[in-house]
Amino acid sequence: MQTIRDRTRRSGSLPTERRRLVARLGDAAGANLIEAALVTPLLLLLTFSIVDFASLFYVYLALENGVSQASRYGVTGNQMADPDEEGEVLSREESIRMAMREATPTLTIEDEAFTFSHLPVGETAWLGGAGGPNDVAKVTVRYAWTPYTPLVSRLFADGRLDLMVESAMKNERRFE
From 1-15, 62-76, 103-117, the region with the lowest mean pLDDT: 1-15
Is the pLDDT score of 10 beyond 60? no
1: pLDDT confidence band, cut at 50, 70 and 90?
low
User: Please, what's the b/e burial string for 132-160 (b: 16 or more CB within 10 A of its CB; e: otherwise)?
Assistant: eeebbbbbebbbebebebeebeeeeeeee
176: pLDDT confidence band, cut at 50, 70 and 90?
low
| DSSP one-letter string for 54-96 | HHHHHHHHHHHHHHHHHHHHHTTT--PBPSSSTT-B--HHHHH
Task: Give the count of beta carbons closer than 10 Å to the beta carbon of residue 41.
Answer: 9
Please give the average per-residue pLDDT across 81-106, as a whole number.
92
Q: CA torsion angle for 65, 108, 154, 50 (degrees, to 10)?
A: -50
Task: Determine how β-strand 161-170 pairs with β-strand 127-128.
Answer: unpaired
**How many angstroms separate the Cα of 102 from the Cα of each of 23, 69, 75?**
69, 9, 17
Predicted local distance difference test score (pLDDT) of residue 3: 60
Predicted local distance difference test score (pLDDT) of residue 12: 53
pLDDT in tens, 96-150: 999 999 999 999 999 999 999 999 989 999 999 988 899 999 999 999 999 988 8
What does pTM read for this prediction? 0.75
Predicted local distance difference test score (pLDDT) of residue 21: 73
Q: What are phi and psi of 144, to 5 degrees?
A: -100, 115
On average, the pLDDT of the chain sits at 87
Is the pLDDT score of 153 beyond 90? no
Residue ranges per structural domain of the chain? 30-170
| DSSP one-letter string for 8-19 | HHHHSS--HHHH
